[in-house]
Amino acid sequence: MDHAPPQPAAPARDYKYYDLLLGGFVAVLLCSNLIGPGKLATVFGLTFGAGNIFFPVSYIFGDVLTEVYGYARTRRVIWAGFAAMVFAAIMSSVIIALPFDATKPPNDVMQPALQVCFGNTWRIVVGSIIAFLVGDFANSFVLSKMKILTRGRYLWTRTIGSTIVGQGLDTLIFYPIAFYGIWSNKDLFSALLFNWVFKVAIEIVMTPATYVIVNTVKRAEHEDHYDYKTNYTPFSLDAD
């Protein structure tokens, strides 16, 4: 009996901007988590972690990635961000713990500054990583499902809706892990609520820019992915 020769697999798509968006996502994520916590900003009488201004930008990257390339390729980006955060946390701990000569400048001023800026407690580190994973996967999942439900219309409903869910879970997980028992319950709840509303507000303000970026990337890539057959498990690096 003759057997038909195996059919070659379809060639993988070669995207122009996927890698750049991945790099931008990881850069914003690392900067907002490493530089941001080092300063409390006060604007119009409101005090908040400076990183909160830029951290929602990572969700905009996530929205663009899911909207254009789909959940599976966004999943790879999220895991890249996770690996970068873990490495940054380990690197910060090792560098701060290394012995140093306090009599030699700039060690005399550098070590205390590094401890203040990068010496986060294990609770903050663990809270940040877990909250990021849950929040970003939820954001991508909700946007992907809403795209199917809306048949690709009303982009603003899914970018804002997914952010409400994703940022809500991110904030709800991070603050109790990082600060429960250290802050009063009142302060903890106030910070949680304020930061959730603040991050969603940034997403709303950035909606026109998100529209421009999404439409530009779709045209350039000739891609507008719908996750009809996607396996939504987060525990995979498959691009399909």
CATH classification of the domain holding 44: 1.10.1760
Checking if the pLDDT of 11 tops 60, the result is no
200: in domain:
yes
- Evaluate whether residue 199 is within a structural domain: yes
**Does 240 map to a domain?**
no
Highest-scoring range by mean pLDDT, 30-44, 98-112, 145-159: 145-159
pLDDT tens for 154-181 read 999 999 999 999 999 999 999 999 889 9
**Residue for token digits 């399909």?**
240
- Inter-residue long-range contacts of 31-40, CB under 8 Å, 24+ positions, other chains counted: 32/57, 32/58, 33/85, 33/88, 33/128, 33/132, 34/88, 34/92, 34/118, 35/117, 37/120, 37/124, 38/116, 38/117, 38/118
Give the pLDDT band of residue 1 (cuts 50, 70, 90).
very low
- Span 20-40, average pLDDT: 85
Has residue 100 got a pLDDT over 90? no
**In a domain? residue 165:** yes
The mean predicted confidence, pLDDT, of the chain is 89
**What is the predicted pLDDT for the residue at 32?**
84
Asked if residue 34 belongs to a domain, the reply is yes
Q: Highest-confidence range of 54-58, 181-185, 218-222, by mean pLDDT?
A: 218-222
Q: Is residue 8's pLDDT more than 60?
A: no
* pLDDT score, position 69: 98
**Is the residue at 13 inside a domain?**
no
Confidence of residue 183 (pLDDT cuts 50, 70, 90): confident
Q: Quick check: 107 pLDDT over 90?
A: no
230 assigned to some structural domain: no
pTM for the structure as a whole? 0.90
pLDDT interval class at 3 (50, 70, 90): low
- Tell me, what's the pLDDT at 104? 81
The count of structural domains within the chain is: 1
What number is the average pLDDT over the span 127-155?
97
At residue 19, the pLDDT reads 96
The answer as to whether 231 is a domain residue is: no
Range of the domain at 109: 18-221
